[in-house]
Amino acid sequence: MPERISDAEHVVMEVLWDESPLTAQEVVERVPEDRAWSANTVKTLLGRLLAKEAVAHEEDGRRYRYRPLVAREDYVVGESQRLIDRLFGGSLTPLVAHLARRDQLSSREIEEIESLLKELKQ
């Protein structure tokens, strides 16, 4: 059972999911600018992710290269399910209904979802 990944840690995970393995320095460089984190902050987060066994590191000379242990897919599904359980009694339909009604769905999106569903029915 992997421990929960916090918001800040998630940002680091996204970097590693996008490309890995990376050194701490490389992660620092790839963190979105709007975060404006110091290198130390990123290293702290990497350390915590190591402790949570969400990433692993392998030695590479005198540095480490980090790579994810948790699949993005699993994280994403887990978080989504958590939200849906908490807010919609576990069913996806009301979420779609909510967002759709709030005009969050363009007709392009509607069609995308429709064709997705058509595939699934087969």
Give residues in contact with a second copy (CB under 8 A). Answer: 7, 10, 73, 76-77, 79-81, 83-84, 86-88, 91-93, 95-102, 104-105, 107, 109-110, 112-114, 116-117, 120-121
Could you say whether residue 88 binds DNA (CB under 7 A)? no
- Closest to 67 measured CA to CA, from 51, 52, 79, 50: 50
How far apart are CB 72 and DNA at their closest, in Å? 18
37 touching DNA, by CB under 7 A? yes
Q: Which is nearer to a second copy, 25 or 81 (CB)?
A: 81
**Contact present, 18 and 30 (Cβ < 8 Å):** yes
Q: Which residue has the tokens 């990497």?
A: 46
Asked if 99 and 93 touch (Cβ cutoff 8 Å), the reply is: no
